[in-house]
Structure 1
Amino acid sequence: MTEHTHTDTHVVVIGGGYAGVMAANRLTAREGVTVTLVNPRATFVHRIRLHQLVGGSDTAVIAYEDVLAERVRLLVDTVTRIDAPGRGVDLASGGTVSYDYLVYAVGSGSAEPSVPGAAEFAYPLGTLEEAERLRPALDAAPVTAPVVVVGGGPTGIETAAELAEAGRPVTLVCGGVLGPYLHQRGRRSVAKRLARLGVTVLDGPDAKVTTVRADGVRLANGRELPSAVTVWTVGFGVPDLAARSGLTTDALGRLLTDETLTSVDDDRVIAAGDAAAPSDLPQRMSCQMAMPQGARAADTVLSRIAGEEPETLRQNFAAQCVSLGRNDGIFQLANRSDVAVWMHVDGGMGAKIKEAICKGVPQHLAEEAHKPGSYGLHRKGGDARAKALQAARGDRAPATAARVG
């Protein structure tokens, strides 16, 4: 265990996902900084492979020693409260850890379902534990038993394709549009591939689940669909740790920050990833956002330690990848404002691009672990973020530092 002396600057990172690991690794670039990463699991969850865990083609976990810098102390525990005035965190084990700076990177999980019966009978797929609960439920069901996947976003599409490729009869209930992020040309490509796999796609205004039962679901138009296993991929939620700790959050519970990712309440608390809401205009939840934000959060901390003014968010999005089984996929390109454009790469090449990205993500983390400061994608953005802020503030005032809780 790495000890820190009274002369060290101690940074606690809460959350060992894409953003947290990137931030922790990067913080080791400066001598005299000790880093403690607090995470409830002893292994890194490669979340963008969870649908593969369910389908049986990947474990979706990586040993921390493969992605985390040796100088980072890994503490397997759960933070139950942040004492921002006292600069410390309370742990589920009963202990406390003090900090000079805190990086809040708790990530996201499945949203709490509001549809009757969903909490009791559906299987969410937002965390490793949920995927590990779903896998045996699928294994226990006959391969000919109907499966309903609810949610037409990337997780729903990828899960439906994975299960259909394994020979299961799958119905994908989109709750609206199939692949709402996709350009209409990309959407048509995805629909064709799902049809070839035998997936029944239900979209449109009536394709909403109103009730979930043990043996099926009911739609808004009254239609009943049999289902031996119902997979729920509708939306994401974030932990309520920030709100419970008296820190200002947005409506979903994400920590409200300025454009340097610094909490509007406390300049010793910096956020990154899915649970951050910079300027009350959060970016799309994804590892594509989380890793650059993790690097930006670390740079903000290092700048403050050095007595320098931190830089602001500059990153742009370029695309979204969706796998459609093991041999097909789509790489949907976007403009710098994260709006899908007509151009995409699909088929086998789309699958290869998605797989290359899935392999590249832990490689980025490992490279930052071995050479902290080497990652630079968070510095390559243009003015899309500034334009989005300007447009948003034309409709509402900038976020204030009013405290809640």
Structure 2
Amino acid sequence: MQHPVQVVVVGGGYSGVTAANRLTGHPDVEVTIVNPRAVFVERIRLHQLVAGSDDAVVEFSRVLAPSVRLLVDAVERIDAPGRRLLLASGETLVYDRLVYAVGSGRGIADVPGAGAHAYPIADLQQAERLRTALAETGPTAPVTVVGGGPAGIEVAAELAEQGCAVTLVCAGRLGPSLHPRARRSVARRLRALGVTVEDAPGSRVTAVRRREVDLADGRTLPSAITVWATGFGVPDLARASGLSTDALGRLLTDETLTSIDDDRIVAAGDSAAPSGVPLRMSCQAAGPLGGHAADTVLRRVDGREPAPFVMGFVGLCLSLGRQRGIFQFEHADDSATRVHIGGRAGALVKAVVCWGTVESLVLEARHPGATRLPAVFGDRGRRRMLATSGAAAADRAVAGGLRTPGTHGGAGRA
């Protein structure tokens, strides 16, 4: 009798849960998901947790298929030749196939004092710590939010709506990924909420102290709480395990999401770098990446060749407090169009998106394969680029030293 194929998914975020659920559609596959927390974290709601309008968690029993085994633990090393995982508990977990979906975290830049005094907000523990600090400091204390991207804008608006005195430090243009029309709309809403926006060229933070921040133009801003909402990093697990990564630490894969080192390992979500050209870190990309990683595994289990990944972006949505929001329509290549939905309608769209991300996991748990993205929505520009250059993107990544340990960098979110 043939034994079931043991597939382990490392990481229980949007991408990992999607992959685990999709894998249950095969009768000869047994799935284990390893995650350090016993609950699913709605990362796109963490700014709401900080402000007290949502707890940002869902029970895994709701979003995971019943046949998926949940192991609450952390992976410390991948032994790829031995096909096993070394866990923080001291246990060893053997696999036949591995889905690497460890996600990302907020990367603290090399700014003096940031590591000691700033509050990152990229995971549940960080958000809870920030919420406690805000409660202890009081609503009138000055709050500085560092980062003019989606995360910074959402945190600043949410806290300002709760009555906090907020300064948003952008180190340049507010909402750089937004179309100018949408950017003006966001700026108007932030002004209405009383947020002071520092977006001049000299607004880069150069130092963080316990109750103030220094800017590149020589000014010092009072800051009882400094929220760090800029730059992303990924866990160092792949690189520490001897697998090829890009400079940020994302696993280097081909377009089927298969590791360039080991065809029994596929990557998904924020921790994947297909052809050395990763997608924007976002829940919008996480689901399709997780589903395709599972499809690649299942095709190989059946002895078939996996297909290239297909993905096209639709939009970028931001909440601007509980009563307003914005949905920026995008081209498939993730570039902004002139069209956006703002105001209360934008808030409604954002709420539907947040609801839909969880419901898509529930749907995939009940009906594996139900959330596949039609190929017509794919980014044709990416396919043309890779088709004309062949493996040039991956070759450039390797030539640039990305197979070896490198420096940490940052990215964006939606």
TM-score when scaled to structure 1?
A: 0.96
Counterpart in 2 of 1:307? 303
User: Following TM superposition, by how much is the alpha carbon of 1:392 offset from its aligned partner in structure 2, in angstroms?
Assistant: 7.1
Instruction: Return the alpha-carbon distance in structure 2 between the equivalents of residues 140 and 209 of structure 1.
Output: 25
What number of residue pairs does the alignment pair up? 401
Percent identity of paired positions between Structure 1 and Structure 2: 59
TM-score, with length taken from structure 2: 0.94
In the alignment, residue 299 of structure 1 is paired with which amino acid?
A: D
Shift of 1:389: 3.0
Q: Does 1:147 align with 2:143?
A: yes
1:30-41 equivalences under 5 Å are 30-41=26-37
Match of 1:54 among 36, 46, 50: 50
C-alpha spacing 1:29/1:194, structure 2 compared with 1 (3 Å): same
Note the C-alpha offset of 1:144.
1.1
Q: Distance in 2 between matches of 1:110 and 1:403?
A: 23
1:389 matched to 2:386? The reply is: yes
Cα distance, 1:111 vs structure 2: 0.6
**Matching residue of 2:272:** 276
Amino acid at match of 1:47: R
| Ranges in structure 2 where 5+ consecutive residues have no aligned partner | 406-414
The answer as to 2:217 corresponding to 1:237 is: no
**8 Å CA contact 1:22, 1:295 repeated in 2:** yes
Contact 1:175-1:203 within 8 A present in 2 as well: yes
Check if 1:351 corresponds to 2:343: no
Q: Is the 8 A contact 1:52 1:162 kept in 2?
A: yes
Alignment correspondent of 1:100: 96
Q: Which residue is 1:26 aligned to?
A: 22
Contact kept in structure 1, 2:10 and 2:102, CA below 8 Å: yes
CA contact (8 A) 1:248 1:403 kept: yes
Looking at structure 1, the residues matched to 317 and 390 of structure 2 have their Cα atoms a distance apart, in angstroms, of: 30
> Is 2:12–2:40's contact at 8 Å kept on the other side of the alignment?
yes
Matches within 5 A, 1:219-230: 219-230=215-226
2:172 alignment partner AA: G
Task: Output one character per residue of 1:119-170: Cα deviation in whole Å (capped at 9) or x when no partner.
Answer: 1111001111100110010001121111100000111000000000011110
Cα distance change, pair 404–202 in 1 and its aligned pair in 2 (3 A): closer
Q: Please state how far the C-alpha of 1:404 moved relative to its aligned partner.
A: 4.1
| CA separation of 1:187 and 1:121: change in aligned 2, threshold 3 A | same
Shift of 1:239: 0.3
Note the C-alpha offset of 1:301: 0.3
Give, in whole Å, the separation in 2 of the partners of 1:347 and 1:210: 34
2:327 to 326, 331, 338: 331
1:70 to 56, 66, 70: 66
Relative to structure 1, the CA distance from residue 6 to residue 214 in structure 2 (aligned partners, 3 Å threshold; closer, same or farther) is farther
Is this contact kept in 2: 1:103–1:272, CA < 8 A? Answer: yes
1:200 aligns with 2:196: yes
Instruction: Give the deviation of 1:253 after TM superposition.
Output: 0.4
Q: Among residues 246, 253, 256, which one is paired with 1:250 in the alignment?
A: 246
Please give the alpha-carbon distance, in whole angstroms, between the structure 1 residues aligned to 2:300 and 2:22.
14
Per the TM alignment, residue 11 of structure 1 is displaced from its structure 2 partner at its CA by 0.1
Residue identity in the other structure for 1:389? L
Aligned with 2:130 (options 130, 134, 152) = 134
Describe the SS at the equivalent of 1:274.
helix
The CA distance in 2 between the partners of 1:33 and 1:145, in whole Å, is 54
**Residue type matched to 1:387 in 2?**
R
Relative to structure 1, is the Cα distance of residues 49 and 39 closer, same or farther in structure 2, using a 3 angstrom cutoff? same
Q: Per-residue displacement from partner, 1:81-106 (whole Å, max 9, x unpaired)?
A: 10111111110101111111000000
